[in-house]
Amino acid sequence: MARMKKSLKIFTVVFVLAAVAAGGFYAVSNKHPANKTNQGMLAYQAGDYQTAFEIFSAQNAVENPEAPFIVGAMYFAGQGVEQNEEKAFFYYEQAADFGYVPAQTTLAMLYAHKHRWDDAYAFARKAAENGDIEAQMLLAGWYENGAGRPFDMQKAVHFYELAAKNGDLNAKTALYLIYKEGKKGFPANEFAAGRWLRVLQKQKALIKKLQ
């Protein structure tokens, strides 16, 4: 249990850094070198967690919902501040309420870990509706396997298809297998399986060509 909690802490901070970068942080920062977010991230990456915490905790969440997200991660991991899971969730939810999608996905995963499935599904749906592939894949897997509630293959396929339309290779593979073999009452469909197989082959060929 202790090892799992430590892994979650590490994952959460790495997820934060990746989410900020994916959200265009570096593009914004290059245009505005004095940007406070830039200063905070540079301090964080240098291991100056106290300075990073001070910068992000002082920012306006309405103007920059990334800030409470990062503050939440620092509370969760105990970086620059004493570890406090309750405060971590408070800041994560603040960022999520202001529409910051990585916070919604993070909360979905953390609530799933706590087996608080109503909250996990609620936050995952918000992120999935906002186009987050990871949340779409979470929901697809949960519905397929009956995580926290009875399985629902119709909903699983729905979320796999959303992720597949966003280019996720694993989602396309899952759809091919489900349609090829059928699963848990969901009927096989040779035509749909063939379509997803062609999509898979085309994407894999493109990936190979670009390597």
Find the angle CA(142)-CA(145)-CA(149) to the nearest 5 degrees: 65
Burial of 34 by CB count in 10 Å (0-12 exposed, 13-18 middle, 19+ buried)?
Answer: exposed
149 residue type, one letter = R
Burial of 135 by CB count in 10 Å (0-12 exposed, 13-18 middle, 19+ buried)?
Answer: buried
Instruction: Give the confidence band of 60 by pLDDT, cuts at 50, 70, 90.
Output: confident
Level-2 CATH architecture, domain 1-130: Alpha Horseshoe (1.25)
Residue 85 has pLDDT above 70, yes or no: yes
Q: What is the pLDDT of residues 1-28, one digit of tens each?
A: 444 444 454 445 445 544 444 443 333 3
Instruction: Give the confidence band of 207 by pLDDT, cuts at 50, 70, 90.
Output: confident
Q: What is the pLDDT of residue 121?
A: 98
Q: What is the pTM of this model?
A: 0.81
The first and second tokens of residue 129, run together, are 């509706």
Query: Bigger pLDDT: 176 or 7?
Result: 176
Please report where in the chains the tokens 């197989």 appear, as a residue: 197
Pairwise CA distance, residues 186 & 127, whole Å: 26
The first and second tokens of residue 142, run together, are 């949960």
DSSP bridge partners of 183? 186
Residue 147 has pLDDT above 70, yes or no: yes
Report DSSP state, residue 80: S
The first and second tokens of residue 102, run together, are 């990585």
DSSP bridge partners of 186? 183
Rounded mean pLDDT, 25-50: 69
- Comparing CA positions, the residue from 19, 45, 41, 47 lying closest to residue 29 is 41
For the chain, the average pLDDT equals 86
Query: Bigger pLDDT: 1 or 197?
Result: 197
Q: Among residues of the chain, what percentage have pLDDT more than 70?
A: 84
The 3-state secondary structure of 93-109, one letter per residue: HHHHHCCCHHHHHHHHH
Q: Are 116 and 124 in contact (CB under 8 A)?
A: no
Q: Are 136 and 110 in contact (CB under 8 A)?
A: no
Instruction: Give the confidence band of 35 by pLDDT, cuts at 50, 70, 90.
Output: confident
